[in-house]
Amino acid sequence: MKPAFKEIPGSIVAPRGFLAGGVFCDIKRLGTGKGSDKGRKRDLALIVSETPAAAAGMFTTNQVCAAPVKVCIERVRRGAAQAIVANSGNANACTGPRGLRDAKAMAQIAARELNVSAENVLVASTGRIGVTLPMENVERGILKAAKTLGNTTIHAQQAIEAIMTSDTRPKQIGVEFQVGGKPARIGGICKGAGMIQPGMSATGRRPAALPLHATMLCFITTDAAIDAKVLQAALNEAVAQSFNRITVDGDMSTNDTVLALANGRAENRRFGVRSSEFAIFQAALDHVCLALARMIVRDGEGVHRVVTVRLAGAKTAAEAEAAARAVANSPLVKTSWHGGDANWGRIMDALGHSPARIAEEKVDIGYSAPGSRKIVWSLKRGRPARAPFLRLCAAVAPLEFDLHIRLNHGRAESVIYAADLTEDYVAFNKGDVTDPTSLGG
């Protein structure tokens, strides 16, 4: 079936009525923060709708939750916003009451410069934990960014660069589709790299069923006319099937945030969650979120191979999830992926110590190209399959492949987008102890 949307350039400024910008203001305080942006990695982004927009969000369920996340949870609940101010280099997490004041002040300064209500400005941060924000630099950055806003691809690129931390590549996507009689657009940008196994909810509270495990930030803009509650419903579903299904290292960050703004400039007829228009919008949003989520895994710290774990035949959905995550987060399984080793013994071991019920003699394990149904089986019903050794090696040699696990005693399924564990991950994360500012996340 042909999807009801097509990809377009422009990401967050593809939808009508959105402006973006990103500047360098030295959030890490390496120098004075003054002077030109040239040759310096930008660290402060603004995303602005020309008119007030419906807002929705999903937030880390980590109990240690950064100040900007607390501010956003409160503000998104009102269902309206007009701007996002975000910085990299400092997470504003574990910063106490001062941190909360700083996050609100960041929004306040942006509101003043953009001439919008302070309540309508959302805030996001990523970077070091436990260090208070250099508010003079932040203020200087917001002033500069507000003056440089625009709706070209270059402006979007500057915003992307400003939220990147250990990311090596910009992550962006835009789609266009017909909804309620009009062409509408969704654009998204994100950052990821380390501390990646998001488990987000709309309230920051952890639902019983939610997995326990990035800093990842994602900002989505759309010109669709959609009520905040409908937007939130679509975002819940899209995040559940994308960002909440990825893992780089199994660590959930204090700052994970997805924000979506919908300014209605497409002037489509508004729709409810049971309409066919909703299904079209949902499909487009799902595509945006899944594409961005997969870019995060692909560009995870030290990641060489990306593996989609497709688990089927579990007794319950919770068990399918638990079994898939046990495999996806097992250091021994992840190092075997790095080594290009079709090691089913380690997969069986991980399944066996997961909370899911499994019957050893029923388990199938196999490999395919991404999305393909042509599976090379290494294990069938708990016994080594007859696939030649070299075919198995070939199946796990590509930089991306699917791992198929069938427990064969139930109907529940789960998909987890996972990555290998490499020497590069360790080398990157062991850090630079000669730098006192490296203390923190």
Please tell me what DSSP assigns to residue 49.
E
The 3-state DSSP class for residue 429 equals helix
Cα angle: 329, vertex 335, 336; to 5 degrees = 105
26 φ/ψ sector (left φ>0, alpha ψ -120 to 50, else beta): left
DSSP string, 201-216: ESSS---TTS------
Give the dihedral sign, CA 218/220/226/228: positive
Closer to its own copies by Cβ: residue 162 or 419: 419
Q: Supply 370's token pair.
A: 């991404």
Q: Is 203 tagged catalytic?
A: no
Taking Cα atoms as reference points, which of 7, 411, 413, 53 lies closest to residue 241? 413
* Active-site position among 215, 247, 254, 308: 215
> Nearest approach, Cβ of 43 to its own copies (angstroms)?
18
Closer to its own copies by Cβ: residue 235 or 419: 419
Phi, psi of 81 (to 5 degrees): -165, 165
Q: Hey, what amino acid is at 311?
A: L
Phi, psi of 24 (to 5 degrees): -100, 125
Phi, psi of 393 (to 5 degrees): -60, -45
Residues across the chain: 441
Q: Tell how strand 257-262 and strand 217-222 pair up.
A: parallel
> Nearest approach, Cβ of 255 to its own copies (angstroms)?
9
Give the dihedral sign, CA 330/335/338/340: negative
Closer to its own copies by Cβ: residue 89 or 187: 89
> Nearest approach, Cβ of 275 to its own copies (angstroms)?
37
Taking Cα atoms as reference points, which of 149, 153, 195, 186 lies closest to residue 170? 153
Contact residues for 245 (Cβ-Cβ < 8 A; gap 6+): 293, 415, 416, 417
> Nearest approach, Cβ of 258 to its own copies (angstroms)?
17
Cβ atoms of residues 328 and 424 within 8 Å: no
> Nearest approach, Cβ of 93 to its own copies (angstroms)?
7
Phi, psi of 65 (to 5 degrees): -120, 130
Q: Tell how strand 400-406 and strand 364-368 pair up.
A: antiparallel
Closer to its own copies by Cβ: residue 182 or 381: 381
Q: Which helix (H) or strand (E) holds 186?
A: strand 182-191
Closer to its own copies by Cβ: residue 263 or 343: 343
Closer to its own copies by Cβ: residue 88 or 354: 354
> Nearest approach, Cβ of 224 to its own copies (angstroms)?
33
> Nearest approach, Cβ of 360 to its own copies (angstroms)?
5
Closer to its own copies by Cβ: residue 160 or 322: 322
Q: Which residues are catalytic, by number? A: 215
